[in-house]
Structure 1
Amino acid sequence: MDSGSKLLETYYAALRESKLLSYMSIAFTVIGLAQYFSFGYKLTSLLFQLFLIPGRSLSKYGAKKGAWAVVTGASDGIGKEYAEQLAKAGFNILLVSRTESKLATLSSEIESAYPKSSTKYLAIDFASAGDAEYVKLKAVVDELDVGVLVNNVGQSHSIPVPFYLVDDKELADIIAINDLATLRVTRIILPQLLASRRGLILTMGSFGGYFPTPYLSVYSGSKAFLQHWSSALAVELEGTGVDVEFVLSYLVTSAMSKIRRSSALIPTPKQFVASTLSSIGLSRGAQLVSYSSTPYWSHAIFQFFVDQSVGAWSRAVAASNLKMHMQIRKRALKKAEREKST
């Protein structure tokens, strides 16, 4: 091959390489623009859902039409707020929780504040409930026109704890209350919702289940289970008239969280429940989780930005959770020692 041919071949090779580089540059530019516009669309969707778009009307589920809302874990905190705000919206309320005296008091308070709403209550300790308790619940529910079920009952660890130190009873109680009770109560009520072709099933989730949470591992796993179960159930019930929504939250002031002071990131139960009931059907922050919502505005924004870089942040979130709960456990153990010595 003479020098002229070699020069020509080198020229064509360089040309092919430059075209390849050009195509690669175009491809990366297109991918970058797609990511940019995707982020913009998701952020716009989040802001519209948080501040402009209303959720479904509760009248779809029988509000002000004689329908009943069943609320588990109803005697305190978030469950109590669900009961009160659903009564205000025009539902009759069936209160289900462990302590009968608290249920009786709440029942009287609701009927006094909302005379158009009737109440019933049933005391069940879901940690130890057997077939007899669920038979009683079914007997009560079968006499009602149920439109809404709020699966709110739940239990976490008494203090953060490494998994190998979790007490057998606490482990069993968390699974029985958070998972088994939710499944059995839903299975009792669902046939009635399907028969009437209208209903709403709200199940309370937690960032503690959405993100791996060391030192609360059993609680974290129980909530992760509910998330997948709820999404699967939602797909099963598409087109039946029964809506299923898994409600994610960060911390809320409550007996379970042991936080008393609210802040921009930690709402009161009243604030949290109001945001939930006003945004039914909107995902808000839970844009990567099917049939789920993160209704409270600061929780939604926090989840949105973590989700956008989930690969980079997942380990950091887990590590942060571990550090926080180790500190909480340390303080709790010191407090217990002080109380023991006095």
Structure 2
Amino acid sequence: MGGDGAWFMSLAVLGALHVAAVAFRVLSRLVLLLPRRPTDLRRYGTWAVVTGPTSGIGWSVALELARRGFNLVLVGRDPAKLQDISDTISSTNASVQTKTVVVDLALVATPKGDEALRLLRQAVAGLDVGVLVNNAGLAKPCALFLHEADVEAWVRMIRVNLWALTEVAAAVLPGMVERGRGAVVNIGSGTTQAIPSFPLYTIYHASKRYVAQLSRSLHVEYRAKGIHVQCQAPLFVETKMTLGMSASLKQRGLFLRLMMPTSDEYARAAACQIGHGPLCMPNLVHQLQWCICNALPDWVLDELILRLNLRHRVIFQRLRTARASRPTSDVKDGGLPHKQA
């Protein structure tokens, strides 16, 4: 009986420790739900730099910063789309100035990349840049096993998500250091925080994990200089990237509108979180999802995400097949979702 009692007590202690660990993880996420006092972002400066501002989160963040009175340096690869967002900002905020910089961030770490970054440094020279939003990112190719995609596609993703983000931050930080103030916001991914793995998006997941780690170290490195560096880690946001997936989920009756905020809703929440710590998941709905995921064992999440992404694989294979069957003149950039925050 004594042996049985000791065995029972050991199991009880282990169970209590597990419950305590889960409770601590959930409570640490619930702290994020506490209301934050909005930061006066203009204390950082009068200009903001936004990469990837021509659609989705980047578009909405650029408009939100313009609404808050920032002048904008808009960095992207498509001149026509850059002009579109510039005109939209000017028409809704007459006092806001904009500058466009045509840079293909996928060329970073290539011979043409040095010239692209030189143009960016030249554009921000002498400007009171207070906020940098490193939003540009690639998620394409989507939902594939590692061996199925062309190596150059993975390389492009790494250049944009990892290398270009670092180079752009390095181009803007010297001015912030000189002025003794600034905020750098690097858009990562909630998948690197809420779940242990993201199979079939492996390179994307790994590159976004780099964003979180880089931001954390830079935050510690620069906070004494008056510069706040933050990784914002959204989960799914309603953008072109999620268009095909969300439509399929709606057909299956599994899609809940509240689980996927619009990019405008995300941008409003994101602006309020700037300056509040090195890592955040701005949207309330995403924070609640994060808490739920932290209450589940890793092996359960691994299995659930694998099954979900295998379904995504079928969806994107259909999209690729449909795109390949169309005449070349009908195929436009964006036929497949390619951006994710």
TM-score class normalised by the smaller sequence: 0.7 to 0.9
CA separation in 1, counterparts of 2:299 and 2:174? 43
- Partner of residue 204 from structure 2, selected from 197, 212, 219: 219
Q: Which amino acid aligns with 2:282?
A: P
Aligned equivalent of 2:68? 89
Task: State the alpha-carbon separation in 2 of the partners of residues 336 and 33 from structure 1.
Answer: 49
SS of structure 1 residue aligned to 2:243: coil
| Separation in structure 1 between the aligned mates of residue 87 and residue 15 of structure 2, nearest angstrom | 64
Match of 1:328 in 2: 315
In 1, Cα distance between equivalents of 2:203 and 2:9? 51
Q: Secondary structure at the match of 2:300?
A: helix
CA distance in 2, matches of 1:240, 1:324: 47
Query: 1:182 maps to which residue?
Result: 165
Instruction: Tell me the equivalent position of 2:47.
Output: 68
RMSD: 3.1
| Change beyond 3 A, Cα 1:317–1:207 | farther
Partner SS, residue 48 of structure 2: strand
Report the CA distance shift for 1:316/1:171 in structure 2 as closer, same or farther (over 3 A).
Answer: same
Deviates more, 1:310-319 or 1:106-115: 310-319
Name the residue aligned to 1:287: none
- Match for residue 257 of structure 2 among 260, 263, 285: 263
The one-letter code of the counterpart of 2:208 is K
Structure 2 residue ranges without an equivalent (≥5): 248-255, 331-341
How far residue 310 of structure 1 moved from its aligned partner, in angstroms, is: 4.4
Residues in 1 aligned to 2:10 and 2:28: alpha-carbon distance in whole angstroms:
27
Q: Measure how far apart 1:177 and its partner are.
A: 1.2
Q: Deviations over 1:260-293 (max 9, x none)?
A: 778211111101111111223457xxxxxxx211
Q: Give the 3-state SS of the residue equivalent to 1:222 in structure 2.
A: helix
3-state SS of the aligned residue for 2:132? strand
In the alignment, is residue 246 of structure 1 matched against residue 231 of structure 2? yes
> Which amino acid in structure 1 is aligned with residue 87 of structure 2?
S
Does residue 104 of the first structure (1) align with residue 113 of the second (2)? no
The answer to whether the 8 Å contact 2:190/2:234 transfers is: yes
* Residue number in structure 1 paired with 2:102: 123
Query: Which residue matches 2:133?
Result: 150
Amino acid at match of 2:215: S
User: How many Å apart are 1:25 and its aligned residue?
Assistant: 9.7
Question: Is the CA contact 1:159–1:332 (under 8 Å) kept in the aligned structure 2?
Answer: no
**Distance change in 2, residues 1:234/1:336 (3 Å):** same
Aligned partner of residue 70 in structure 1, secondary structure: strand
Deviation at 1:28, TM superposition (A): 6.8
Runs ≥4 in structure 1, deviation > 6 angstroms? Answer: 17-30
- Which residue pairs with 1:319 in the alignment? 306
The aligned counterpart of 2:294 is: 307
Q: Is the 8 A contact 1:81 1:270 kept in 2?
A: yes
Moved more, 18-27 or 246-255: 18-27
- Residue equivalent to 2:115: 132
Distance in 2 (alpha carbons) for counterparts of 1:80 and 1:236: 30
Taking structure 1 as reference, are residues 214 and 26 closer, same or farther at Cα in structure 2, changes over 3 Å only? closer
Q: Structure 1: any 5+ residue segments left out of the alignment?
A: 1-13, 284-290
Rounded Cα–Cα distance in structure 1 between residues aligned with 2:214 and 2:171: 16
The one-letter code of the counterpart of 1:239 is: A
Q: Give the structure with higher Rg (CA).
A: 1
Quote the offset at 1:234 in angstroms.
1.4
* Deviation at residue 142 of structure 1 after TM alignment: 1.1
Structure 1 pair 194–26 and aligned structure 2 pair: CA distance change class (3 A)? same
Deviation at 1:213, TM superposition (A): 2.0
